[in-house]
Chain A
């Protein structure tokens, strides 16, 4: 029941949007209403996890949701709902043609479905299939407005994404190869729990090789440097609602896949191997992103590079023991909420100024005062200032690093965070103040999208001031799974 509620509404919404011709606005509203069902189901999954239950469905436990799945499913459900309510296809003023609105409604729902399937599939092969499908469903939406830049971005995305994910499949095949060698062919061999059970007897050398492929593969989707080159293009050229979904949760889903495999490999070869690789890639991502932020001229690319920075931080956290895993997961929640809100706000700015260049959008504080306030709050949040959630999770992460005895690493991380902070705040200054360009109308219009974005701010402030008991209990459940 719970899984039906989670996975069927997006399929249903996509089918309705595809079949209802010509496109009418009720289709958009209906799909937006349906987007609440997966969010509710994901919250229900969390509640069951907190009761100590792991939900499963189907023959051979085809679907399975433990704490880790439930958390990422909530993130996906939340951002999918946000993107459904604020994306194209609801009002006349969204600036899209009917065919574009329809394809947005069809493919954004399919995109949400594939991500939800990826985090609830028990079989790591099916998880791979679902993550590969996220590339296909989202690539079609990037050039919703066909321009040279968006066509280029979508080509880069689908090529680099597909090749990367193919390498993750090589890793999956290698792990399966080792399993079959020892235990013979079994239908359940690729089930995550069976892999984990047999991990201690699998061969170290083979699993290490498999993990390298898997980390490069899913790391490409997660935007880890040096495989991140598709990310700024895809995030900056796609419609803002899609950028919100990609940056907010697609990266989280890829991280989820890495964590699943890390648990299996750790059980066989010990933590040190995977931790070392994650630290190298995480630090590299953080460094490249922080220094690229300084010279950025496009505010959507600014947000995209900040996503790379935060993915790098999450990876670092995963490598820092139980405390680090706790911090990394909290960081993922905070980043999901903050960054999806920021891309939606960036979409509002872009619609008003008709430009994504920082120098062409000055005076935001005068043209759209409320949007400007939210945008500023969001930039402070992603720069890691209190009272926002990302401050707390970054603090927890650095503390975990010191506790793990990695003093030099943490000093480096703090220095890079300071670079990113300076860059972000300097750019924010240019956006907020100065005279707005001549024909730009003053004052807020279409005010209702500000309500959900305001709610996002509220969430990150709450997470910045306190850690609600259900959240910390859920995170502790994940720590139990991820670093036993």
Chain B
């Protein structure tokens, strides 16, 4: 039983990480949105699996909120923002081959950092934690190395997914009051970012953050 649970957790975490890696070789923002939507669905699935094995009703609630907000609502808004423009990511600061290499190093680094965590944990899900931390690091790299504001938003959303994954694998979910607060923050934060993407488009006539070099020192 435990071994099935543990295998499911590792499988799910690997899938979420692969969806994040997709950002590194695709160029179209639509593909990024799809990757994010599927990643969120897998994340919701992992939460539901943990809820099933831990017999925790609250976690089913969290899983359905995840599915609704990140699997359906946010991707829908993202598609609507992207559709009229058919956004393509520009030539990134780092090319695809080096990006993938850096991502691999980041995942290795995550494994090294996670060793004390895996050593102290006794949960069957602990093997997925390094992957969750890897997802966090890869998302940070995406935010730092891509140029379109929309891509940075998606990178940020994936970073949030990584944290949610880490929380559910390591602790079987944080207290519900905090969880709800995090969802509200995410929702409002996303709405504000979306508003700003429109503003950047209106004032700069593009959402290429390369243009944002006005303020120096």
Q: Chain A: residues with CB nearer than 8 A to chain B?
A: 123, 125-126, 128-129, 132-133, 135-136, 139-140, 143, 146-149, 151-156, 158-159, 162-163, 166, 169-170, 173-174, 176-178, 180-181, 185, 187, 189-190, 203, 205-206, 209, 232-233, 236-237, 292, 295-296, 301
A151 interface neighbour in B116, B133, B181, B204, Cβ under 8 Å:
B204
Residue B91 at the chain A interface, CB threshold 8 Å: no
Please give, as numbers and ranges, the residues of chain B lying within 8 Å of A209 by CB-CB distance: 113, 116-117
Q: How distant is B21 from chain A, measured CB to nearest CB, in Å? A: 19
Known: A140-B192, A151-B200. A125 touches B215 (CB 8 A): no
Asked whether B116 lies within 8 Å of A155 as measured between CB atoms, the reply is no
Can you spell out 24 A-B residue pairs with CB atoms less than 8 angstroms apart?
Answer: A123-B175, A125-B175, A125-B177, A125-B178, A125-B181, A136-B192, A139-B196, A140-B192, A143-B199, A148-B204, A149-B215, A152-B214, A153-B215, A156-B215, A158-B193, A159-B156, A163-B156, A170-B163, A173-B174, A174-B166, A177-B167, A190-B178, A292-B217, A295-B217
A203 interface neighbour in B116, B156, B170, Cβ under 8 Å:
B116
Asked whether A132 lies within 8 Å of B215 as measured between CB atoms, the reply is no
Asked whether A206 lies within 8 Å of B167 as measured between CB atoms, the reply is no
Asked whether A177 lies within 8 Å of B170 as measured between CB atoms, the reply is yes
Asked whether A178 lies within 8 Å of B120 as measured between CB atoms, the reply is yes
Please give, as numbers and ranges, the residues of chain B lying within 8 Å of A158 by CB-CB distance: 189, 192-193, 196
A-B interface, 8 closest residue pairs, ranked by CB to CB distance from nearest: A125-B178, A129-B181, A205-B116, A177-B170, A152-B212, A233-B215, A132-B185, A173-B167
Please give, as numbers and ranges, the residues of chain A lying within 8 Å of B163 by CB-CB distance: 166, 169-170, 173
Q: How far is the CA of A324 from the CA of B171 in the complex (A)?
A: 36
Give the contacts of B156-201 with A (CB-CB under 8 A).
156, 159-160, 163, 166-167, 170-172, 174-175, 177-178, 181-182, 184-185, 188-189, 192-193, 195-196, 199-200
Please give, as numbers and ranges, the residues of chain A lying within 8 Å of B149 by CB-CB distance: 155
Which single residue of chain A is at the shortest CB-CB distance from B115?
A205
Asked whether A185 lies within 8 Å of B172 as measured between CB atoms, the reply is yes
Q: How far is the CA of A206 from the CA of B113 in the complex (A)?
A: 10
Asked whether B178 lies within 8 Å of A151 as measured between CB atoms, the reply is no
Q: How far is the CA of A159 from the CA of B144 in the complex (A)?
A: 10
Which single residue of chain B is at the shortest CB-CB distance from A131?
B185
Known: A136-B188, A152-B212. A123 touches B196 (CB 8 A): no
Q: How distant is B144 from chain A, measured CB to nearest CB, in Å? A: 9
Interface SS of chain B: helix, strand, loop or mixed?
Answer: helix
Q: How far is the CA of A123 from the CA of B117 in the complex (A)?
A: 23
Asked whether B189 lies within 8 Å of A162 as measured between CB atoms, the reply is yes
Count of chain B residues with Cβ under 8 Å from any Cβ of A? Answer: 45
Q: How far is the CA of A148 from the CA of B121 in the complex (A)?
A: 49
Asked whether B177 lies within 8 Å of A126 as measured between CB atoms, the reply is yes
Q: How far is the CA of A146 from the CA of B185 in the complex (A)?
A: 24
Q: How far is the CA of A126 from the CA of B185 in the complex (A)?
A: 11
Known: A126-B181, A163-B159. A180 touches B152 (CB 8 A): no
Residue B143 at the chain A interface, CB threshold 8 Å: yes
Which single residue of chain A is at the shortest CB-CB distance from B181?
A129
Known: A152-B215, A295-B217. A132 touches B189 (CB 8 A): yes
Of the candidates A125, A139, A177, A233, the one having the most CB atoms from chain B within 10 angstroms of its own CB is A177
Q: How far is the CA of A187 from the CA of B176 in the complex (A)?
A: 9
Q: How far is the CA of A388 from the CA of B205 in the complex (A)?
A: 48
Known: A152-B214, A178-B120. A146 touches B174 (CB 8 A): no
Residue B140 at the chain A interface, CB threshold 8 Å: yes
Q: How far is the CA of A153 from the CA of B133 in the complex (A)?
A: 29
Residue B209 at the chain A interface, CB threshold 8 Å: yes
Residue B80 at the chain A interface, CB threshold 8 Å: no
Please give, as numbers and ranges, the residues of chain A lying within 8 Å of B193 by CB-CB distance: 158-159, 162
Please give, as numbers and ranges, the residues of chain B lying within 8 Å of A153 by CB-CB distance: 215
Please give, as numbers and ranges, the residues of chain A lying within 8 Å of B140 by CB-CB distance: 163
Asked whether A156 lies within 8 Å of B212 as measured between CB atoms, the reply is yes
Asked whether A166 lies within 8 Å of B215 as measured between CB atoms, the reply is no
Asked whether B199 lies within 8 Å of A146 as measured between CB atoms, the reply is yes
Which single residue of chain A is at the shortest CB-CB distance from B178?
A125
B117 interface neighbour in A149, A169, A189, A206, Cβ under 8 Å:
A206
Q: How far is the CA of A237 from the CA of B192 in the complex (A)?
A: 18
Q: How far is the CA of A180 from the CA of B170 in the complex (A)?
A: 9
Which single residue of chain A is at the shortest CB-CB distance from B114?
A209
Residue B203 at the chain A interface, CB threshold 8 Å: yes
Asked whether B121 lies within 8 Å of A177 as measured between CB atoms, the reply is yes
Asked whether B174 lies within 8 Å of A129 as measured between CB atoms, the reply is no
